[in-house]
Amino acid sequence: MNTKEYVTTFSKEVTDIAHWKAITGKRYAERTLVAFNTDWNAFVYYCQSIHASPLPAKVQTIERFIDHMALTRKLSSLKRYIITIRLVHRTLALTDPCSHTQIRLLMQRHHEEKQDDSKQAEGLHADHLYRLFLVFESSVNIKDIRDLAIWAVAFEGLLKRSELSSLCVEDIIMDEAGNTSLQLEKKTIPLSERTSAVLTQWLTEGLVTDATYSDALIAMEISGRCR
């Protein structure tokens, strides 16, 4: 199936996870793809309800969608929608409407309006990690998002350096509700909504593969920032 055919496929409800495996190069666990699919179909359904095209999506369509979902969804869910919409556009070689200034301002507004959504998770973090989120969470630099994701995962998972550097993309599991966890040998480590969002953002925006994931972790260890 070529790119044009995939655009047609993703312009309506996607019912086969195989399509997601194809466009993402099998970089994600199946449960993560199911979560992406759920979020994407929610966007498609909304576009159909207002007679708008999901691919390529207009900035105004995404604005209306996010404002609509914000009535009933938490900030973490809104972030996942943006990540999913961005992923589909970028992997299908379409202009990413989510990088537009209007969308960044929109998400900033919802972040301010839904501050209570993240306070529950903040209570679980040490003060230094909380401050790191304040500084880097809204950064447009993918390296900042990468560093923040690794700090947060290492902290919440209580991971040793060896455990952190041995993580693979397949060890990161996302369910249909958008909850993310780490699968390490025989134990499952749940991650908070805030850490889940920044980790998914890094994996998606950085088009991370197992190789680049391992390289990033090793670089963090060498620099002495993972303790």
Closest CA to 225 of 124, 110, 146, 142: 146
- Predicted pLDDT at 216: 52
Q: Are residues 172 and 187 in the same domain?
A: yes
**Average confidence (pLDDT) over 26-55:** 91
Domain co-membership, 10 together with 55: yes
Q: What is the pLDDT of residues 71-95, one digit of tens each?
A: 888 888 898 899 999 999 999 999 9
Q: Are residues 130 and 28 in the same domain?
A: no
Q: Which of 113, 143, 175 is the last residue of a domain?
A: 113
Q: How many domains does the chain have?
A: 2
pLDDT in tens, 136-188: 888 878 888 888 888 888 888 887 777 777 777 777 887 776 678 888 777 78
Q: Which CATH number is 24's domain given?
A: 1.10.150.130
Please say which residue of 113, 132, 153 terminates a domain.
113
Query: Is the same domain home to 124 and 103?
Result: no
Among the candidates 113, 135, 170, a domain finishes at 113
Question: What range does the domain containing 105 cover?
Answer: 1-113
Residues 86 and 6 in one domain: yes
Please tell me whether residues 214 and 133 are part of one structural domain.
yes
Cβ contact 79:178 at 8 Å:
no
Q: Which residues contact 111 (CB under 8 A, 6 or more apart)?
A: 75, 138
101 and 146 share one domain:
no
Do 107 and 158 belong to one domain?
no
Same domain assignment for residues 124 and 197 = yes
CA distances from 181 to 3, 7, 107, 160, 174 (A): 32, 30, 24, 17, 6
Please give the model's pTM, rounded to 2 decimal places. 0.56
Quote the DSSP letter at residue 191: -
**Residue 38 and residue 98 in one domain:** yes
Candidate from 73-77, 189-193, 200-204 with smallest mean pLDDT: 200-204
